[in-house]
A = this chain, B = another copy of it.
Amino acid sequence: MKPIDHADATPEVQAVYDDIQQTRGVPDVNNFWKMAANHPATLRRTWDSLKEVMAPGAVDVLTKEMIFLAVSITNGCTYCIRSHEAAARKAGMSDAQHGELLAVVGMANETNRLANGYQVPVDAALLDR
């Protein structure tokens, strides 16, 4: 499959691209969207969902992007790490915040395996919640 540029896209796909560009204030969409456009229903559904989920709400945009980046690092998705690190930077992430995020992600992945390895029984107080 090849990325589909705006000029080569169907009107249905162009409408999604236009909404992404307007919502994000960018002149063109990333390759992620140009590849997803190979299946227009996936493009539209994924954008609609992402637009809703990543909008500011009870959690601010920077925190949402940092959470997205933490998941992408855990899964080892290079494309996602690079694009959401850029998005987090755009939302205001400083060098110090980036460094602390990586430290937390590292520790979480370590202690997740210590909990697995020790087969830690869940504390009664944690089950009562």
Interface residues of A (CB under 8 A from B): 1, 3, 30-32, 35-36, 38-39, 41-42, 45-46, 49-50, 52-54, 57-59, 63-64, 66-68, 70-86, 89, 94-123, 125-127, 129
Partner of A72, one of B106, B112, B129: B112
Q: Top 9 nearest A-B pairs by Cβ distance?
A: A39-B99, A58-B96, A71-B108, A110-B110, A35-B118, A102-B117, A106-B110, A77-B112, A82-B126
Interface SS of chain A: helix
Partner of A31, one of B74, B80, B83, B121: B121
Partner of A80, one of B54, B57, B70, B108: B108
